[in-house]
């Protein structure tokens, strides 16, 4: 019979499928850090498929388990990051790792990011296991998922809406309903609506102990930060900004391009060569603490993913957003609504192909009003609300006994 002792702390498990880019990982990491900062008797473990999760640092009492990676192709199909292992084998491994980690870690709260059943249903067995144990299950959603018609078809195919009713005690939407409603148009099961909580956007802070990196030829002066997030789909934005500086070499502020770790090496090399020929443009590949650059930037040019949008709001930066519309319309929906409210300026798809229009937008950027000029109650309350919601669920859990040699359940 295994020895046991009383567990004197609580545990949160966060699952993120991470098939593309940095968005899911960075959101989950920010939430994990906020939770342990608020409670010294809490530990958080992140399950992630991100191939570069090890490039980020983590606070004490936050750790991660990396599951085998997958890539989502433009046609919507998934393939294994390791091309010698087929996708079905990879998904079986991922599902097994997720379930066994949850079984042994034995969390007091399970937070699932975006995908109600995980990638192609890989989290279903884990949800069943934790539901039997009485663990509170929470689904976290960003403010926009996709165009409502496209999302309705996707969720019908995945059985996602029914999973909300079958598994989740609460759904946290990291935004405000009056700005964007990610579940608009979805036929939700009875009883789900009262479980939805709109938290507000997740405020970000620059790490106090991390110095901003030195940027050659930009120095301490003002600059524009150009970021396509992970960079895997950022070619058009980087190309457009470079074309604007090539068109108008007298643009008032220099630009720092951060390509992102997922940009193809050959594209990155071509862009770096163009940057080197421009006196007022510099480029780096990746910065894990991009918040340190945001605090210094005079303005931001971006595609408008969720994390970048939160950072624009958090650091009160004037921004020009050039959203993509494929394969999802998420960025376009968010940018259009933010522009309507006066929080950012958005360039349309047609404008986003014109270097002259982009150059004009960059010239006008210093005269834009910052997001703080628009008063929206609760806009950046998300992180505080999430900490309070998590605390409420954790306080409901009884004290636990921790087995020193816990058997795996069948």
User: pTM of the entire structure?
Assistant: 0.90
At residue 230, the pLDDT reads 81
Whether 196 is in a domain gets the answer yes
Convert the chain into a string of H (helix), E (strand) and C (coil).
CCCEEEECCEEEEEEECCCCCCHHHHHHHHHHHHHHHHCCCEEEEEEECCCCHHHCCCCCCEEEEECCCEEECCCCCEEECCCCCCHHHHHHHHHHHHHHHHHHHCCCEEEEECCCCCHHHCCHHHHHHHHHCCCCEEEEEECCCCCHHHHHHHHHHHCHHHHHHHHCCEEEEECCCCCCCCCCCCCCCCCCHHHEEECCCCCCCCCCCCCCCCCCCCCCCCCEEEECCCCCCCHHHHHHHHHHHHHCCCCCCCEEEECCCCCCHHHHHHHHHHHHCCCCEEEECCCCCHHHHHHHCCEEEECCCHHHHHHHHHCCCEEEECCCCCCCCHHHHHHHHHHHHCCCEECCCCHHHCHHHHHHHHHHHHHCCCHHHCCCCCCCCHHHHHHHHHHHHHHHCCCEEEECCCCCCC
Q: What is the CATH number of the domain that holds 348?
A: 3.40.50.2000
At residue 7, the pLDDT reads 75
At residue 325, the pLDDT reads 81
- Range in 126-135, 235-244, 400-409 the model is least confident about: 400-409
Whether 14 is in a domain gets the answer yes
Percent of the chain clearing pLDDT 90 (strictly above): 67
pLDDT: which is higher, 255 or 327? 255
Do 309 and 175 reside in the same domain of the chain? no
Do 242 and 314 reside in the same domain of the chain? yes
Do 192 and 253 reside in the same domain of the chain? no
- Range in 23-37, 45-59, 299-313 the model is least confident about: 45-59
Do 298 and 336 reside in the same domain of the chain? yes
Do 236 and 150 reside in the same domain of the chain? no
Whether 95 is in a domain gets the answer yes
Do 275 and 312 reside in the same domain of the chain? yes
Percent of the chain clearing pLDDT 70 (strictly above): 89
Do 388 and 287 reside in the same domain of the chain? no
At residue 404, the pLDDT reads 45
Whether 213 is in a domain gets the answer no
Which domain covers residue 126, as residue numbers? 4-203+380-403
Do 366 and 389 reside in the same domain of the chain? no
**Does residue 2 surpass a pLDDT of 60?**
no
**Does residue 401 surpass a pLDDT of 60?**
no
Do 57 and 171 reside in the same domain of the chain? yes
List pLDDT tens digits, range 201-216. Answer: 999 988 776 666 666 5
At residue 85, the pLDDT reads 81
Whether 218 is in a domain gets the answer no
Give the count of domains, the chain: 2
Do 284 and 332 reside in the same domain of the chain? yes
Do 10 and 38 reside in the same domain of the chain? yes
Write down the mean pLDDT value for the chain. 88
List pLDDT tens digits, range 349-363. Answer: 777 789 999 999 999
pLDDT: which is higher, 406 or 4? 406
At residue 214, the pLDDT reads 65
Whether 194 is in a domain gets the answer yes
Do 360 and 386 reside in the same domain of the chain? no
Per-residue confidence at 402, pLDDT binned at 50, 70, 90?
low
Whether 162 is in a domain gets the answer yes
Whether 215 is in a domain gets the answer no
**Does residue 410 surpass a pLDDT of 50?**
no
List pLDDT tens digits, range 306-322. Answer: 999 999 999 999 999 99
At residue 341, the pLDDT reads 96
At residue 4, the pLDDT reads 43
Q: What's the average model confidence in pLDDT over 31-59? A: 92
At residue 363, the pLDDT reads 95
């Amino acid at each position: 019979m295994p020895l046991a002792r009383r567990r004197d702390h609580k545990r949160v498990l966060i699952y993120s499928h991470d098939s593309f880019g940095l968005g899911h990982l960075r959101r989950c990491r920010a939430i994990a850090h906020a939770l342990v900062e608020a409670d010294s008797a809490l530990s958080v473990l992140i399950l992630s498929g991100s191939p570069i999760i090890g490039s980020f640092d983590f606070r004490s009492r936050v750790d991660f388990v990396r599951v085998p990676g997958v890539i989502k192709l433009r046609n919507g199909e998934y393939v294994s990051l390791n091309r010698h292992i087929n996708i079905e084998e990879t998904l079986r491994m991922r599902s097994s790792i997720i379930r066994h980690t949850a079984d042994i870690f034995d969390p007091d709260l399970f937070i699932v990011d975006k995908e109600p059943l995980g990638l192609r249903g890989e989290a279903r067995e884990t949800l069943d296991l934790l539901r039997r144990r009485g663990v509170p299950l929470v689904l976290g959603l960003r403010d926009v998922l996709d165009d409502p018609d496209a999302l309705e078809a996707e969720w019908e195919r995945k059985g996602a809406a029914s999973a909300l009713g079958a598994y989740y005690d609460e759904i946290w939407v990291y935004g405000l309903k009056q700005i964007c409603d990610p579940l608009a148009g979805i036929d939700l099961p009875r009883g789900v609506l009262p479980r939805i909580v709109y938290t507000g956007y997740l405020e970000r802070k620059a790490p106090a102990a991390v110095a901003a990196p030195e940027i050659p030829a930009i120095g301490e002066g003002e600059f524009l930060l150009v970021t396509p997030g992970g960079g895997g789909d950022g070619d058009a934005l980087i190309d457009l900004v470079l074309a604007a500086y090539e068109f108008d070499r007298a643009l008032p502020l220099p630009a720092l391009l951060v390509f992102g770790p997922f940009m193809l090496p050959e594209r990155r090399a071509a862009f770096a060569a163009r940057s080197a020929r421009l006196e007022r443009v510099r480029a780096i590949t990746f910065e894990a603490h991009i918040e340190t650059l945001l605090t210094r930037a005079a303005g931001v040019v971006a595609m408008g993913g969720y994390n970048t949008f939160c950072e624009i709001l958090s650091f009160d930066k004037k921004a020009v957003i050039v959203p993509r519309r494929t394969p999802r319309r998420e960025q376009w929906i968010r940018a259009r609504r933010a522009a309507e409210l006066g929080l950012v300026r958005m360039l349309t798809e047609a404008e986003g192909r014109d270097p002259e229009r982009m150059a004009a937008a960059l010239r006008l950027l210093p005269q834009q009003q910052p997001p703080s000029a628009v008063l929206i109650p609760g806009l950046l309350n998300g992180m505080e609300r999430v900490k309070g919601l998590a605390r409420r669920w954790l306080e409901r859990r009884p004290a636990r006994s921790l087995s020193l040699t816990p058997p795996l359940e069948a």
